[in-house]
Structure 1
Amino acid sequence: MLAKRGKLEFPWADTPPPGEAREVAPGLFWARLPLPFRLNHVNVWLLEEDDGWTVIDTGCATPEIIAAWEALLAGPMRGRPVRRVVATHGHVDHIGLSGWMVSRFDADYVGTFAEWMWARVSHMHDVPGSNDAHHYYLVRNGFDDAVAQKLVKSRHRFINLSSPIPGWITEIRDGETVRLGGRSWRVIVTRGHAFEHASFLDEEANILIAGDHLLPKITPVIAVYEMMPKADPLGDYLESFPSFSDVRPDALVLPSHDTPYYGISERILELREHHDKRLAATVEFLRTPRVPLDLSKSMFPHIEGPDNMGFALGETLAHVNHLVRLGAVADVSAGSGTALYQALR
């Protein structure tokens, strides 16, 4: 019997332990890797080929994840080589071991161009101007100088969770069809959580590998970063949903976090409603002018520690920037060194 949460249905109540895999469709396997931060796992997908395997996402570079891969390679993957490494997007929990795996097997590396570039740039220690830009972004949005300096240094621990990113890529684009594991998959490229996030739809088998874009229980991080401080990633995310309009309602959705589910239409509706509520709350909190960090503390009252508040700031600004775009909120800082926003209606 399927487990249920609201209108979503979950065909598997338990998850595969690290080093083991579960077949979710013929030749398509689900493996789960432990992560060293609050979101404590990532799902990866193994597709059996005639001459080896295609791997979709890799986890990050930790001894625990490498040990899990060694167990997978020797066990469920039966010692056969990885021929292709596919990245849904360029965040470290998805591409951190891509270089290690590509180098080990001389495998093809497949993904979107923007996410390959993002991964290469965001996992370098010495990108000119990046530390200064990050520090300015944090101070302008309310962090004091000392805390901002610590946050700039602390992000290097995420950089260190990645092996070197492959120096080349086989590019995929929206609408293309790729053959993976003997199946035809249509590539669906969306923005919001990432710049060019790739999902994969097998229309014949009615399976969607959704990456982080359509998670079953949490919304993916939709955040503003220092390199594009006026971006509207939330607008991009909300505008992405029609890209999935021709996915059948009974499709099996394979997300990168939590467990596979049925109910894509219901989940998209839930995600829309969640962000509508957050946007309405943001307007209410901005009835009087607020500095973004102060607003973040109201929007995320249970978050503690500067690192987590840094993530909360990015999500808060995503909602603020979208409201600015809609004409509901304005930047009223008037040239001061600290950003200040106020609702207009």
Structure 2
Amino acid sequence: MAADSKTADGTPLEGHGLAYPCDPAPEAGQAKEVAPGLWWIRMRLPFALNHINLWALRDKDDAGEGWALVDTGIGGAVTATAWQELFAGPLAGRITRVFITHMHPDHIGMAGWITRKFGCRMWISRLEYLSCRALISDTGREAPDDALSFYRRAGWSEEALETYRTRFGGFGKMIHTLPDSYRRLHDGETITIGQDAWRVVMGNGHSPEHACLYCPERRLLISGDQVLPGISSNVSVFPTEPDADPLSGWLASLDKLQREVPDDVLVLPAHNQPFRGLHARLEQLRRSHHDTLDRLRQALAEPRRAVDVFGALFARPITADQVLLGLATGEALADLNYLVGRGEVRATLEDDGCLWYQRQ
């Protein structure tokens, strides 16, 4: 698409076929109306990716008017304070229900706190709810031998493994006690929020059963982490399913979104800016990952462990930082498992306890 092209509403398309019509972003803990009855909320995160976008939609139920929320921010006092200020200001009134796109702590962290505060229901897909409960159950446990073997096979040093032991079980510490029940979201179902019909479009790869919400009449897509501008969703293999192939699911989900959602939507992502140019972004993501796989194939002319292919996969150096090392290892294994599953690469467990990968 040409750089001077425009969307249906006349907004110029900026670099790489994307337009950002909603700038500037609201301040952390504030809200900004980006479409009638739809407010953009930004909350702080204590990570390198230091923010998350949340969404509030005018809603109505048997008890009257209120707000439906999409995602809730990470659990903790800072986020709770920000929500209290919003409830006393632009979101004054009732919360009718809380939609959760997926189970990562920055999305589901405050769901239990909000649903209990307002006596409302959490809406989430079954796999996301159950997966979250399973991960929370690790809180207070010692790191299991299976997980240590998993990272040892990937090539982690004993120092990195010891740090993992020390920090294991932190997932649940970022999540307020989950609601004990939920309303299940189903792929393809239509939900009325306020006066509008929204269709659930499920994806996977980044998480087990990620829910996007698409409003055909208003040309809006709340995409969660399934499609992001500027950055690619993390697609990782974890110790609980070491032979998984999440990359296949993620690539298939990109194709599904292109089939089911038209290009002229305003995409409301969980990170960075709302944008137009969905199909261009989907093509960028596909092309980028296939380019990454090509670099990985070249690197595997000689045997390599997962930690040895970071240079082929990532533009920035991967340091000993535990979070960064874990994300990079998970993504590297997702790419490696994808190629192993297609018969392009073989994996051999050697006497050093590491899996070594080489192109067939």
For the aligned pair, the TM-score class normalised by the smaller chain equals: over 0.9
Counterparts of 2:166 and 2:182, CA distance in 1: 30
Aligned counterparts of 1:126 and 1:67: Cα–Cα separation in 2: 25
Q: In the alignment, which residue of structure 2 is the partner of 1:250?
A: 264
Equivalent position of 1:329 in the other structure: 345
CA distance in 1: counterparts of 2:312 and 2:293, whole angstroms: 13
CA deviation vs aligned residue, 1:299-340 (integer Å, no higher than 9, x gap): 335222241112100000111010111211111335762111
2:31–2:41 Cα contact (<8 Å) kept: yes
Answer yes or no: is the 8 Å Cα contact 2:139–2:170 preserved in 1: no
The letter of the residue matching 2:266 is L
* TM-aligned CA deviation for residue 93 of structure 1: 0.5
Give the letter aligned to residue 142 of structure 1.
G
CA distance in structure 2 between the partners assigned to 1:235 and 1:127 by the alignment: 33
Matched, 1:23 2:51: no
CA–CA distance in 2 between the matches of 1:302 and 1:262?
Answer: 31
Alignment partners' CA distance in 1, 2:81 and 2:142: 36
Q: Residues 210-263 of structure 1: CA distance to partner in whole angstroms, max 9, x if unpaired?
A: 110010111100000011111111111111123221322111110000010000
Contact (CA 8 Å) 1:3, 1:11: kept in 2 or not? no
Give me the whole-angstrom Cα distance separating, in 1, the residues matched to 2:348 and 2:37. Answer: 56
After superposition, what is the alpha-carbon deviation per residue over 1:29-87, rounded to whole angstroms, capped at 9, x for unaligned?
11000001111000001011232111100011132211211111111112x12120110
| Matching of residues 176-195 of structure 1 within 5 Å | 176-195=189-208
Map 1:38-117 onto structure 2 (within 5 A): 38-50=48-60, 51-78=65-92, 80-117=93-130
Verify the 8 A CA contact 1:134 1:152 in the aligned structure 2: no
Tell me the TM-score normalised to structure 2 length.
0.91
Are 1:216 and 1:258, in contact at CA under 8 Å, matched by a contact in 2? Answer: yes
TM-score, normalised via structure 1 length: 0.94
Residues 34 and 214 from structure 1, CA distance in 2 versus in 1: closer, same or farther, beyond 3 angstroms? same
In structure 1, how many angstroms separate the alpha carbons of the residues matched to 2:58 and 2:28?
19
User: Which residues of 2 match residues 108-127 of structure 1 at below 5 A?
Assistant: 108-126=121-139
Report what 1:320 is aligned to. Answer: 336
1:145-160 matches, within 5 Å, as 145-160=158-173
2:21 alignment partner, one of 11, 18, 36: 11
* Mapped contact 2:139–2:171 kept (Cα < 8 A): no
Aligned AA (1:137): F
SS of match in other structure, 1:340: strand
User: What is the distance in 1 between the residues matched to 2:33 and 2:255?
Assistant: 30
Name the aligned partner's letter for residue 120 of structure 2.
Answer: A
Deviates more, 1:172-181 or 1:127-136: 127-136
- Residue 155 of structure 1, CA deviation: 4.1
Letter in 2 for 1:312: A
Unaligned runs of 5+ in 2: 1-10
Identity %: 34
Give the secondary-structure state (helix, strand or coil) at the position aligned to 2:349: coil
**1:95 shift after superposition:** 0.3
Most deviating of 114-123 and 146-155: 146-155
- Structural mapping, 1:172-211, within 5 Å: 172-211=185-224
For the pair 1:219 / 2:232, whether they are aligned, the reply is yes
| Distance of 2:205 and 2:140 partners within structure 1 | 23
Shift of 1:122: 1.3
Partner of 1:289: 303
Distance 2:351 2:46 in 1: 40
Task: Identify the residue that residue 263 of structure 1 maps to in structure 2.
Answer: 277
Q: How many residues align?
A: 343
Q: In 2, Cα distance between the equivalents of 1:197 and 1:226?
A: 20
Superposition CA RMSD, Å: 1.8
Give SS of 2:267's match. Answer: strand
Q: State whether residues 19 and 70 of structure 1, in contact with CA within 8 Å, keep that contact through their aligned partners in structure 2.
A: no
Partner of 1:276: 290
* Contact 2:310/2:318 (<8 A) preserved: no
Gaps of 5+ in 1: none
